[in-house]
Amino acid sequence: MNGVKTKAPEPRAQVKRVKEYHPPLGDRSGLRLDFNENTIACSPKVLDALGRISRAELTKYPERDPVERLVAEHLKLAPEQVLLTNGVDEAIHVLCQTYLGEGDEMLLPVPTYSMYAVYASATDARLLEVPADKDYRFPLLALLDKITPATKVIAIANPNSPTGQVVSREAILEIAEAAPQAMVLVDEAYFHFHGETVMDLVGRLPNVTVARTFSKAYGLAGLRLGVLAAGEESMKWMRRMISPYSVNSLALACVSAALADTEYVSWYVSEVLAAREFFTAELDRLRVPYWPSQANFVLTRIGPKHGEFSIAMHNRGVLVRDRSSDPGCDGCVRITIGTQEQMKASVRALAESLAEIGWTGEEA
Ligand code: PMP
């Protein structure tokens, strides 16, 4: 090119400090107990809806408004209080971009879902992690203690991942009241498996925002569809930060069918709850320590051989997620709960893998 020399420009300093997030996807043929997805399929009615999309429809930019009205109705909210997002991940990004500036602080109880820290660290704000109490219980007092006038966002996953622990409604109210200058995000990605919500606080408490996803119980992780709900005033600001077409037409076309097939979601959730009970009883029998979970996964403590264990499970066609590098999770492996049949099959792999690593039940 005629001797022209250039170099790659430097990114912003904040971008350099963002930790790379590489989910270990790769070849995932096998029983997928690694990403807390629905382990079977979405409702067949959703696939029918996809099949009805015309070629002409795909020529148009996606229109999220009518679908937001539908979701608002489903959640008993006003349309102005609902924003559809490209998964909860985008909701977190939008929230951080809207509220976190220089001199601000975000409070994050840990361990928790990785993307809060990823998006917060790309802003000019300071991220303050609050370690969980014993047995990963929600660190209410420590969190309240860290609230200052600089606190701008408090992110709470309820139920939390990877621990499956929950926060009470009273605790959320106490936090919202103690930090009126901050947006309190309650991420209810696993709501269906827990059944408790603070969605009714949306609009009533202007500093509470609630996130939901179609990635878990609905089985639509591949479509990337999330919901952010907040008071109208806050939503006005957040709408400015979202890309206008981030939720694509295929995802939008599925929402009505997904919401309407309540029977499918109820069936899947009841399968998971029964399977969770069965699987944790098996963990007891095999003397594997775990934390009782309100979500579609269980955090187990395998101990120093967590890596070998995860590989042994993989070799038997069962994918699990090593979480030992999460704060306070040394030796821990997270196992998604699927259907009863799947969890029965996984117990054989579990027993064999434990035998392979020489498990005696004293290690963890
Ligand atoms: N929140 C939590 C607590 C999660 O565990 C996950 C995904 N594992 C997400 C949000 C991401 O949801 P989505 O697929 O809607 O981006």
How many angstroms separate the alpha carbon of residue 214 from the centre of ligand 1? 9
Distance CA 35, CA 39 (A): 9
Q: Give residue ranges with CB within 6 A of ligand 1.
A: 36, 87-89, 113, 157, 161, 187, 189, 213, 215, 221, 226
Domain coordinates of the chain in residue numbers?
A: 13-39+263-356, 52-260
Give the residue ranges of the chain where pLDDT is below 70: 363-364
What is the distance between the alpha carbons of residues 360 and 364, in angstroms, rounded to a whole number? 10
CA of 295 to the centre of ligand 1 (A): 12
Distances (CA, A) of 254 to 46, 52, 175, 251: 5, 10, 36, 5
Domains 13-39+263-356 and 52-260 share a fold: no
Which residue owns the Cα nearest ligand 1 atom 9? 88
d(CA 185, CA 172): 10
The reported pLDDT for the residue numbered 29 is 86
Per-residue confidence (pLDDT) for residue 19, from 0 to 100: 85
Q: How far apart are CA 132 and CA 143, in angstroms?
A: 9
Q: Identify the CA nearest to 160 among candidates 111, 196, 119, 209.
A: 111
Domain range 13-39+263-356, CATH architecture: Alpha-Beta Complex (3.90)
The CATH class for the domain spanning 52-260 reads: alpha beta
Nearest 5°: phi and psi at 284?
Answer: -60, -45
CB 181 within 8 A of CB 198: no
Mutating to test ligand 1, I would choose from 88, 163, 190, 225 the residue with most ligand atoms within 8 A of its C-beta, which is: 88
| Three-state secondary structure call for residue 328 | coil
- Of 25, 32, 89, 193, best ligand 1 pocket probe by most atoms within 8 Å of the beta carbon: 89
Structure tokens at 77: 């909210």
pTM (two decimals): 0.97
CA-216 nearest atom, ligand 1: 14
Q: Are strands 226-229 and 82-85 parallel, antiparallel or unpaired?
A: antiparallel
Strands, E assignment, the chain: 31-32, 82-85, 105-110, 126-131, 151-157, 183-187, 208-213, 226-229, 290-291, 297-301, 318-319, 321-322, 332-336
